[in-house]
Amino acid sequence: MAGITRFGSYVPFFRVQRTALGGGRGARAVASHDEDSVSMAVEAARDALRGAAAPELLLFATTSGAYAEKTNAATVQAALGLPEQIASAELGGSTRMGLAALGLGLDAATAGRRALVSAADVVIGAPGGSRESGGGDAAVAFVTGPDSEACARLLGRASATTELLDVWRLPEERFAKQWEERFGAEVLGPALVDAATRALKDAKVEPTELSHVILDATNPRAAAGLPRALRLKPEQLADGLESQVGRAGAAHAGLVLASVLDQAKPGARILVTSLADGCEALVFEVTDRIAAARPRHTVAGWIGSKRDDLAYNNWLKWRGILPFEPPRRPDPERPAAPPMRRNERWKMAFEGARCTRCQTGHLPPQRVCIHCGAIDEMAPERFADRGCKVATFTLDHLAYSLQPPVVAAVVDFEGGGRLTCELTDVEPASVAIGNELEMTFRRLYTGQGVHNYFWKARPRR
Amino acid sequence: MASHGIRDRVAIVGMGCTPFGEHWDKGADDLLVDACKDAYASARVEPAAVDAYWLGTMGSGISGLLLSEALKIPYKPVTRLENMCATGSEALRNAAYAVASGAYDLVMAVGVEKLKDSGYSGLVSSRPPDDGTLPTMTAPAMFSLLAPAYAKKYGVDEGTLKDVISRIAWKNHVNGAKNPKAQFRSEVPIEKIKSSPRVAGMFGVFDCSGVSDGSAAAILCRAEDAHKYTDKPIFIKALAFAAGPAEGFFNQEYDFTTFQEVVESCRDAYAQAGIRNPREEVSMAEVHDCFTATELVLMEDMGFSARGQAWKDVLDGRFDGDGPQPVNPDGGLKSFGHPIGASGLRMMYEMWLQLRGEAGARQIRDPKLGLTHNLGGQPGRCVSFVSVVGR
């Protein structure tokens, strides 16, 4: 068998209060204007890969791919600095695909290939509807590997595939639609009970032995029957994070699993399910490797690091739902394919250069050393995970941005190297020389139908 | 290997300059015709007497044809060049060398920019296709990095520094108000400057130079021929230029309180002109005040003020139009306006008027040496031009 060897999560910085959406409790997480499913997947995967063995397969699941045609997983691969010699595949079409991808990643691990499984979603709904208010934006990532390295060992599993009209969206439509909930519950409820029962049988685990049960469904009513059917006690049910994050599409089941793994004790058994056009059910046992496998950021940590008063109209603007008056500045130019390709290690992996003669760091990579003038004596070096500080900064009220003012800073890296870049997830008034920052992968803008990904700095979260 | 200069070998014998501002009714070609027509008249020459041309524009056209077509110049060499905001000065520098080399007898340096047709706020420039990773800061944002860095390094509180930069804007508006060709011809109360809407960092609208249309031109010849064209030629004492390796973008030690490019180009220019103490020997200067804090830092880089002392000199009025060392007596980029390719030659136009005693209400008493300084780029990554001229 196989298991999860490492994991990581990501919840963006902004929250919209449900009271601002016409009612409901708590807040939902909102990806910033410079984030999408791809950039968020990168953030979660960076944490999961810290200290992990290199994967041979990358899986990416989302219902909100940045491109409808073009391998989003390749962007994830490049931003993580993973070698090109890995396999990748993308899953989409329903929110179940996040957990389905984890299942496939575990299959690969069983077959001897370590996999990086990432899932992310930016969930929008028609203004005023329950998908808008109940959804959330987040990402999660798992590394799968052999049983001997697992922090959560797979004990058993079951799947189901169900053809029905429950949640759907045509390619040209912005918002998904959903059939009457009672009908979906009628069909999917039994599918969940059946799959969960089969998975537990496969795992040889009794429902009473479960420490944590994770329920994820397009239709909460459809999942409500499982605790009754398995006679679960309320304390066995994991917090679904509805009031702090919202249901994060294809990332949701995995995100809740990550939040459980953030705290679970060795020996704990977990049933995780995801219900959408069928069902995935996986049973895990936490091993004593869990403490060493934990990521730097917990889900609770991400949830606690926030700005929780994003105005509704700004959010609609960020998602392109609400038209707005553009600044009197030129529209951003699309980046060009050949320079993006030849500078890929810089643009995507944030790989600079260090002079092998005098050790001076360079961002972007240079051929000639600024300090000693040596030509072509550089070694590549990834700066993505290196700490940095504000050397000086400014608030640019004139530059084009979906969240003016642009906070621009000159950033100095530990161990040398300097970059002028944008700050994100930042309170303009709180920026000061010497502030500690970390780098984050973002979609700077979309120009003429091309997404422009690059790195920004943000205050440490 | 050395920079020898061409001190006193080349003279400017005629100049022209359009008013700067919003010329909704004129294209770049019209502006070129206006400036050149003035310059020909000023040197009392027919267009046919000019042997070669250098045309500076950042983006208002391409190639020498922009000029030769507008002026119907018949089959003569016209070089088009660009060096960011120092473009106009580069036209002059290259034209001067052509004369000094003996290749031509009479040449013309022309600069033009037509910025107001874009419909955008601030300066807009196009760049070649790229990978999308270059910083997208606007010009005011890039230069606004100077202010907090200067305040911190020299222990000036930000309120005082705001007073200092506001006074620079105020001074340049006072000067521009006396200049019939300036874009902004009114004095602006210092409180209005201080409270103007923020553009970037500490900069408000009044800390930024004017975006404008305009053109300027100069006619040059060898010094010994100068009196054929005018009784009051001015002579080039020094021409210096420095393009930096973008050190400030890479080196953590760069602290945004200086332009090394300016320091180096000034050192070369002063050596060429034999200037030992610029604070005492330079009678007046037109400097690149693209933003108010730029002018502050320039005073130190150019040796007009000691390090960390320029803010006091500004408050003392040292650089006022009637002060001991007037800076930007014509109003500068701030008030005269900044049509990129024309600005360097506009600065020289003020030297031309001042040294000939033709500057009217803003005439400086008996100036000996004048300096023009032109900067292109941003703190840490720029090009710098310096000239010294005199009678």
B210, pLDDT greater than 90: no
B288 is catalytic: no
Q: State percent of chain A over pLDDT 90.
A: 94
Mean pLDDT for A252-276 is: 98
Same domain, A366 and A291: no
Residue B31 contacts A, CB cutoff 8 Å: no
Candidates B252, B290, B291: best to mutate against A (most CBs of A within 10 A) is: B252
Spatial CB neighbours of A453, under 8 Å, sequence gap ≥ 6:
A38, A39, A75, A79, A347, A348, A441, A442, A443, A444, B132
Q: How far is CA A53 from CA A26, A293, A295, A365, in A?
A: 38, 12, 14, 27
What's the mean pLDDT when you consider all of chain B? 96
Contact state of A330 with B120 under an 8 Å Cβ cutoff: yes
pLDDT at B338: 96
Contact state of A408 with B135 under an 8 Å Cβ cutoff: yes
A373, pLDDT greater than 90: yes
Contact state of A418 with B201 under an 8 Å Cβ cutoff: no
pLDDT at B267: 98
A433 contacts A277 by C-beta, under 8 angstroms: no
Same domain, A292 and A342: no
Same domain, A25 and A150: yes
Same domain, A223 and A357: no
In B, residues 123-142, which contact A (CB 8 Å cutoff)?
124, 129-133, 135-138, 140-142
CA angle A26/A27/A30 to nearest 5° reads 170
| Distance, CA of B362 to CA of A40 (rounded, Å) | 61
Candidates B133, B146, B258, B381: best to mutate against A (most CBs of A within 10 A) is: B133
Contact state of A370 with B129 under an 8 Å Cβ cutoff: no
Residue B368 contacts A, CB cutoff 8 Å: no
Taking CB atoms and an 8 Å cutoff, what residues of chain A touch B133? 343, 346-347, 364, 454
- Indicate the SS3 state at residue A72: helix
Mean pLDDT for B3-13 is: 97
pLDDT at B209: 94
- Min Cα separation A402/chain B (Å): 14
Domains of chain B: 10-117+213-233 (3.40.47.10), 139-208+236-390 (3.40.47.10)
A331 belongs to a structural domain: no
pLDDT at A53: 87
Residue B258 contacts A, CB cutoff 8 Å: no
A111 belongs to a structural domain: yes
Taking CB atoms and an 8 Å cutoff, what residues of chain B touch A441? none
B338 is catalytic: yes
pLDDT at A400: 81
Same domain, A217 and A250: yes
Residue A335 contacts B, CB cutoff 8 Å: yes
CB pairs under 8 A between A and B: 121
**Is omega for the bond preceding A365 within 30 degrees of 0, making it cis?**
no
Residue-wise pLDDT tens digits, A333-347: 899 999 999 999 999
From B23, B173, B338, B373, the catalytic residue: B338
Which residue range is the domain that position A301 belongs to? 2-318
Same domain, A190 and A52: yes
A82 belongs to a structural domain: yes
Query: In chain A, how many domains are there?
Result: 2
Taking CB atoms and an 8 Å cutoff, what residues of chain A touch B129? 333, 335-336, 338-339
Q: What is the largest CA-CA distance in chain A?
A: 73
Residue among A333, A399, A422 whose CB faces B138 most closely: A399
**Which is it for strands B106-113 and B214-222: parallel, antiparallel or unpaired?**
antiparallel
pLDDT at B54: 98
Within A19-137, strands assigned E span 27-30, 57-61, 87-91, 115-121
Token pair for residue A159? 């799947």
How many CB atoms are located within 10 Å of the residue B189 CB? 10
In A, residues 375-414, which contact B (CB 8 Å cutoff)?
391-400, 405-406, 408, 410, 412
Same domain, A108 and A164: yes
Same domain, A310 and A341: no
Look at phi and psi of residue A278 and say left if phi exceeds 0, alpha if psi is from -120 to 50, else beta: left
Same domain, A24 and A111: yes
Residue B153 contacts A, CB cutoff 8 Å: no
Residue B249 contacts A, CB cutoff 8 Å: yes
The H-assigned helical ranges of A129-180 are 130-134
In B, residues 64-123, which contact A (CB 8 Å cutoff)?
119-122
Contact state of A366 with B250 under an 8 Å Cβ cutoff: yes
pLDDT at B120: 82
A31 belongs to a structural domain: yes
Q: How far is CA B365 from CA A162, A363, B93, B354, in A?
A: 93, 51, 27, 9
Contact state of A422 with B152 under an 8 Å Cβ cutoff: no
Taking CB atoms and an 8 Å cutoff, what residues of chain A touch B148? 392-394, 433
Same domain, A79 and A193: yes
Taking CB atoms and an 8 Å cutoff, what residues of chain B touch A391? 252
Give the chain B residue whose CA is nearest to the CA of A441.
B133
Total H helices, total E strands in chain A: 13, 21
A323 belongs to a structural domain: no
Give the chain A residue whose CA is nearest to the CA of B199.
A397
pLDDT at B244: 97
- Min Cα separation A104/chain B (Å): 35
Token pair for residue A103? 């299942």
- Min Cα separation A317/chain B (Å): 21
A189 belongs to a structural domain: yes
Both ends of chain A: CA-CA distance in Å?
36
Token pair for residue A246? 């919202």
Whose structure tokens read 């799947």?
A159
Of A285, A318, A351, the last residue of a domain is A318
Reported pTM: 0.95
Same domain, A227 and A93: yes
Of A284, A318, A352, the last residue of a domain is A318
Task: Identify the DSSP state of B21.
Answer: B
Which residue type sits at A270? I
Residue among B136, B245, B250 whose CB faces A399 most closely: B136
Mean pLDDT for A353-370 is: 97
Q: How far is CA B17 from CA A231, B215, B218, B348, B374, in A?
A: 90, 6, 9, 10, 17
Mean pLDDT for B343-365 is: 97
Mean pLDDT for A345-363 is: 97
A382 belongs to a structural domain: yes
pLDDT at B124: 75
From B85, B221, B266, B382, the catalytic residue: B85
User: pLDDT band at A23, cuts 50/70/90?
Assistant: confident
A157, pLDDT greater than 90: yes
A328 belongs to a structural domain: no
| Beta bridge pairs of residue A269 | A285
User: pLDDT band at A212, cuts 50/70/90?
Assistant: very high
User: pLDDT band at A22, cuts 50/70/90?
Assistant: confident
CATH number at residue A223: 3.40.47.10
Same domain, A263 and A388: no
